Amino acid sequence: MYILGIETSCDETGVAIYHSDKGLIQHSLYSQIAMHNEYGGIVPELASRDHIRKLIPLIAECLQLSKLTKADIQGIAYTAGPGLIGALLVGAATAKSLAWSLNIPAIGVHHMEGHLLAPMLEEHPPEFPFVALLISGGHTLLVEVTEIGHYQLLGESLDDAAGEAFDKAAKMLGLAYPGGPLLAKLAQQGQTNRFKFPRPMTNRPGLDFSFSGLKTFTMNSLNNTEQTEQDKADIAFAFQQATAATLAIKCKRALQQTGLKRLVVAGGVSANTHIRQTLVEMARKERAEIFFPRPEFCTDNGAMIAYAGCQRLLAQQQESLSIIARPRWPINELTE
């Protein structure tokens, strides 16, 4: 069964074709970053309009590269939320209209479930059950996963998401949007042991996160220097190190608390090399297996949506062709 996947929840138009037996066939991505860059962040209305412009040509491109036609597609998966409402509606309306015209089912996918299942697209996918750390621009979640659709929330960020903290700290350091990858690059020039950032919420029990204090620490540290390139690089290094260490402490705690020996790490921030290395080292010490998506599937993409939708369609899940999009959608409301 060929499934078309559509992702339009934020600033990336992602399209993919996944086959239930053959795996991922093709994926295409168009990033709006250059357009939003000028404004220092995402302008939701511009995002929606750009999805309208790019989505149908991207679907056509993906079909052509796969040597398939619309008639080969047997189901359509689209991101139904959470995300920017206008952007979500472009994907939902396109998916449902196309499904209606082809007389095939369409299924709405939870964006964070898409991220959570992204490592399933790799050569060595994790087996269930596992602990998942989801670190994106909008969410930071620790989830106990027993099978697809069985998600127990273990912890979440009480303020900024990890990616959001990266982006805000990067902005303070004078970097462009989205600053996460740029901050990581700057941190490569940074010296260790110059700034000591805190590891928020690690000295008390629990699995929730708080990243807004690291942002304040970034600003205060910056104001205490002459703000040279070296100062900025040293601060970027300390910020990244503190974030990685905090994530590792919480993941270790989640593995110990659940007794599980498998950790999945996904979402945009999981593309960060230092964070990956820190978590790999923690998992090694805990004798746990660790799984990541390939870097291009850490950030938003259509492949993870096609995969998640395919699993739900194979499980006979159905929905009406009325158009639904949810800007807010807690992951623990999902059913099996």
Q: Which of 269, 182, 170, 271 is nearest to 215 (CA)?
A: 170
Selected from 14, 81, 138, 155, the binder of ligand KG4 by CB under 6 A is 138
Selected from 300, 303, 305, 312, the binder of Zn ion by CB under 5 A is 300
State how far the alpha carbon of 50 is from the alpha carbons of 14, 45, 58, 145, 180, in Å.
12, 9, 12, 35, 23
Considering the complex, what minimum distance in angstroms separates the CB of residue 162 from ligand KG4?
A: 8
Residue 302 lies near ligand KG4 (rule: CB under 6 A): no
Q: How many residues in the chain?
A: 336
163 binds, among ligand KG4, Zn ion, none (CB under 5 to 8 A by kind): ligand KG4
Contacts of 272 (CB under 8 A, 6+ apart): 180, 181, 184, 240, 244
Considering the complex, what minimum distance in angstroms separates the CB of residue 268 from ligand KG4?
A: 2
Selected from 14, 86, 126, 178, the binder of ligand KG4 by CB under 6 A is 178
Considering the complex, what minimum distance in angstroms separates the CB of residue 30 from ligand KG4?
A: 13
Please work out the total of residues on this chain that contact Zn ion, with binding judged by CB under 5 A.
Answer: 2
81 binds, among Zn ion, ligand KG4, none (CB under 5 to 8 A by kind): none
| Structure-token match 């990581």, residue found | 184
- The alpha carbons of the chain give a radius of gyration, in whole angstroms, of 20
**For residue 336, which amino acid is it?**
E
Select 95 or 182, whichever has its Cβ closest to ligand KG4: 182
Residue 56: CB atoms within 10 A of its CB come to: 12
CA distance 219 to 4: 44
Selected from 272, 292, 305, 309, the binder of ligand KG4 by CB under 6 A is 272
CA distance 6 to 280: 31
End-to-end CA distance of the chain: 21
State how far the alpha carbon of 90 is from the alpha carbons of 8, 171, 177, in Å.
7, 29, 23
Considering the complex, what minimum distance in angstroms separates the CB of residue 137 from ligand KG4?
A: 3
Torsion of CA 317, 319, 321, 323, to 10 degrees: -120
Residue 12 lies near Zn ion (rule: CB under 5 A): no
Contacts of 88 (CB under 8 A, 6+ apart): 8, 9, 79, 80, 81, 325, 326, 327
Which range, of 17-25, 117-125, 134-142, 143-151, touches ligand KG4 by CB under 6 A? 134-142
Selected from 299, 308, 325, 326, the binder of ligand KG4 by CB under 6 A is 299
| Structure-token match 């359509």, residue found | 76
Residue 79 lies near ligand KG4 (rule: CB under 6 A): no
Considering the complex, what minimum distance in angstroms separates the CB of residue 272 from Zn ion?
A: 14
Look up residue 270 and give its two tokens: 């999981």
Selected from 13, 28, 32, 136, the binder of Zn ion by CB under 5 A is 136
String marking each residue 260-299 x if it binds Zn ion according to CB under 5 A = ----------------------------------------
Which range, of 50-58, 125-133, 172-180, 300-308, touches Zn ion by CB under 5 A? 300-308
Sites of contact with ligand KG4 (CB under 6 A): 10, 136-138, 163, 166-167, 178-181, 184, 267-269, 271-272, 299-300
Sites of contact with Zn ion (CB under 5 A): 136, 300
